[in-house]
Amino acid sequence: MADFIDSIKSAVKFSGPYIPPYSKSNPTPASLYIRPFLMGTTPKLGVKPAQDYGHVVITSPSGPYFSSGLNPIKLKVEEEYIRAAPGGTGEAKCAGNYAASLLAAEIALKEGFDQVLWLDVERKYLQEVGAMNLFVVIDNVLVTPDLDGCILPGITRDAVIELGASHFKMSVEERHVSIHEVIEGIKNNKVTEIFGSGTAAVITPVGSLGYKGEHYTIGDGKIGPIAQKMYDTLLGIQYNELNIECAKDWIIEVQIDG
């Protein structure tokens, strides 16, 4: 782990001139995106595990994950394709998982949606939003799908759960969430917010769902108070502006020369 952290620090130091300036007046601040990954480097074409691996860290100045910034997105509930199944690689951060999602996402874009809401292999329970973890506010309880082997255990997911329970003193549940429960909850106003979480997007509010030919608006279609608080708090932690007890070990300071 120490070597991994050192490699990240070195990449950030090298990228110092490319780190976007931060301004509180900018509602959608840019940042330096960091992507570490491993790739097999054994010089063989056979279908077998590599014996040698290369560790690479890519950095890039990046704007908001969605061009619209922190505005609610429209999701298509995917009923045909799935991104992961039990016994597969759904819980791993591997390239193949993203490849399996691209066609459905492209179709959703052509149909006027921003992203896909993925269901499980039975097309019954919620999994993820595009490449993000998923949260639903049901009766003032923060609910997220439990880690069943098909869902990525995202670090931002962990942060949202910890902030919700420890900082905002919310009830938090990790459990199966059915699309039926969500649709009925939207209809009877028990579901008041849906949002995604991820390293690049931080927090992405969801304004509406498209399911079985119908469109369902969540709340008033705008960003909800919990998603807004989570976004503001996470950015405050990232920019070292907030001192929160449960997040005291989340930040590593890197000194940039010059």
Listed in sequence order, the DSSP H helices in 39-154 are 95-99, 102-110
Residue 151 corresponds to which tokens in the numbers above? 């869902």
Question: In the structure encoding, which two tokens stand for residue 64, read together?
Answer: 């908001």
Three-class DSSP category at 77: strand
| CB neighbour burial string for 67-96, b if at least 16 within 10 angstroms, e if fewer | eeebebbbbbbbeebbbbeeebebeeeeee
Do residues 75 and 129 make contact, with C-beta atoms less than 8 angstroms apart? yes
| Burial category of 186 from C-beta neighbours within 10 Å (exposed 0-12, middle 13-18, buried 19 and up) | buried
- Residue 194, SS3 per DSSP: strand
Contact 134, 145 (CB under 8 A): yes
* Residue among 9, 74, 93, 110 flagged as catalytic: 93
Is residue 169 part of the annotated active site? The answer reads no
Catalytic residue numbers read 93
